[in-house]
Amino acid sequence: MTALLKPSPLNADPAGPTPAAPAPAAAAPLISAESVTKRFADGPAVLDGVTLAIRRGERVALLGANGAGKSTLLRALVGLIPITGGAVEILGQRFTRQPTARQRATLRRRLGFVFQFHGLVGRTSALSNVVNGAMGQGHGWRSWHQSLAPAALRDAALEALEAVGLADRATARADTLSGGQSQRVAIARAIVHGPDLLFADEPAASLDPAAGLDIMRLFTRLAADQARTLVYTTHDMRHALEHADRIVALKAGRVVFDAAATDLSERDLEPIYRG
């Protein structure tokens, strides 16, 4: 590995990389994409024959230049957008164009998704935002106030806030939280129902370097604690190298690199990002 990719003493993570949860050797993949293509309307293929298998407990960073198709792939894998060709199997649910309503409900129960912008409801408490996640029904009127939520849901939401280190801010209005704290609430919202699988689309991109690193450490810990599978996109090489055990790189909608994080060299990176 080259100097560029080695963490310098200035940016080295003192906690060191967290070992990935071991994946059973013969286990079927938790996620598989078979020749997945995606076009928006009559546009060019944004995903162009993506084939990929991710096993339980793996932590996978998706890399690639702007527009390479990373977010589109994340959304396609979880059925948030319909695919144009190929097939996806995720958490035992196989679909071609898009998941059925029943499959969608199963996926919602078993996976958590964190976006770059946390999307919290600012004028309600951190706790209410997490409770809304647990109810899986958006921001319906019943869940606008935490006192209306069933006790079990509030307990689960508090536990999730505890897991992200924010139990003491549970009653704070979301719009009074810092960017890093807001992202923690978004993560609590994504894990409150105990998902097997966590997806995150540039979860640290809008945060300062310290807050971003905290968020990545949190993801790593949450994944390791429960042997959860973690798939995230990032433009930060350090976040990829230190918090994933596998790197998948896309270029113009195709997989151009797929190997252990320790195998990524500067020579691999150059063509990934070259125009």
Nearest-CA neighbor of 79 among 52, 57, 106?
106
Instruction: Provide the 10 A C-beta neighbour count for residue 142.
Output: 13
Binding of residue 8 to ligand ATP (CB under 6 A): no
Binding of residue 112 to ligand ATP (CB under 6 A): no
Q: Which is nearer to ligand ATP, 70 or 184 (CB)?
A: 70
Give backbone dihedrals phi and psi of 220, rounded to 5 degrees, phi first: -60, -45
Closest distance between ligand ATP and the C-beta of residue 177, in Å? 24
Site string for ligand ATP, 147-176 (x = CB under 6 A): ------------------------------
Q: Which of 8, 16, 66, 274 binds ligand ATP (CB under 6 A)?
A: 66
Only one of the segments 11-19, 68-76, 178-186, 240-248 lies at the binding site for ligand ATP (rule: CB under 6 A); that segment is 68-76
- Residue pair 76/88 in contact (Cβ under 8 Å)? The answer is yes
Binding of residue 82 to ligand ATP (CB under 6 A): no
The maximal CA–CA distance of the chain, rounded, in angstroms, is 56
Cβ-count burial of 19 within 10 angstroms (0-12 exposed, 13-18 middle, 19+ buried)? exposed
Q: Which of 21, 46, 76, 207 binds ligand ATP (CB under 6 A)?
A: 46
Residues 6+ away with beta carbon under 8 Å from 214 = 180
Q: Which of 71, 181, 220, 234 binds ligand ATP (CB under 6 A)?
A: 71
| Six-digit token string for 254 | 């195709």
Binding of residue 72 to ligand ATP (CB under 6 A): yes
Q: Which is nearer to ligand ATP, 116 or 226 (CB)?
A: 116
Only one of the segments 27-35, 60-68, 132-140, 185-193 lies at the binding site for ligand ATP (rule: CB under 6 A); that segment is 60-68
Binding of residue 42 to ligand ATP (CB under 6 A): no
* Euclidean distance between CA atoms 114 and 201, whole angstroms: 6
Q: The sheet that has 85-90: what strands, in order across it? A: 45-54, 31-39, 85-90, 93-95
E strand or H helix at 34, and its extent? Answer: strand 31-39
Binding of residue 124 to ligand ATP (CB under 6 A): no
Closest distance between ligand ATP and the C-beta of residue 66, in Å? 3
Our measurement of the distance from residue 195's CA atom to the centroid of its chain's CA atoms, rounded to an integer in Å, reads 12
Strand partners, 34: 87
Binding of residue 203 to ligand ATP (CB under 6 A): no
Q: How far apart, in Å, are the Cα atoms of 57 and each of 16, 189, 210, 246?
A: 19, 20, 26, 11
Q: Which of 1, 6, 67, 225 binds ligand ATP (CB under 6 A)?
A: 67
Binding of residue 40 to ligand ATP (CB under 6 A): yes
Closest distance between ligand ATP and the C-beta of residue 112, in Å? 19
Beta strand pairing call for 246-251 and 111-114? unpaired
Q: List residues near ligand ATP by CB under 6 A.
A: 40, 43, 46, 64, 66-72
